[in-house]
Structure 1
Amino acid sequence: MDDPNEDTEWNDILRAKGILPPKPGPTEEEIFEELDREIKEKQDKHLEDKTLDELDELEDEEDERILLEYRQKRIAEMKAEVSRERFGHVMQISKPDFVREVSEASKDVWVVVHLFKD
């Protein structure tokens, strides 16, 4: 198996099936570091010529823009998570497996049963 932390479609499938552990998300500290880094990169070079009111206004605009960008990225991540498999799986079982697969499993999760006869 390749690197389990690699971002590939195959590893995503393995994560969805529970074979690989879920990808760790960014920590709160990493998020704040990223915000600070972006603020420093985007700062205006001519801040010395501005008045305090103009500086306050620029700071507010920059904070709002960065938070909006982060919010849009996070919403996209959340939509991607939601679009994944919502329900479990369909499996055909025989009469002897019914108690184990349906009665005992229904204590932890919802089970939908479709009964049919050949």
Structure 2
Amino acid sequence: MEPQEVDFAHTEGAAKRRREKAMGLARYVWDRGISGQELLDLTDGTLRKLARAAGSNPPSTMETWLTVVELLDQKTAWAQRHLDHPAATPAHRDEKIMWVTPPVQPWT
């Protein structure tokens, strides 16, 4: 009988740690008013810098970032249902421009 290879990246413990990291990243990203789509549009280099700014080692796979996007979508839906709640408004929205460049308006 051959020993089976273990995929350590997809164990129960790894999934738990990935979710914990994603939650921390999602909190940081949400507080800056960055949407899930805007997050997906960022370059790999910017994602690494964003993770470091959030106090986290950059995720090694896109899987964690996709979890962040899911969490952001959930938080956005919650915020739309609870407009009067203080947590429904990003606390550091003014920092968004540090990560997401607004589209350039064409000269007409």
TM-score, scaled relative to structure 1: 0.26
Q: Which fold has the larger relative contact order, with Cα–Cα distance below 8 Å and residues 6 or more apart in sequence?
A: 2
- TM-score of the superposition, structure 2-length normalised? 0.27
- Structure number with greater Rg is 1
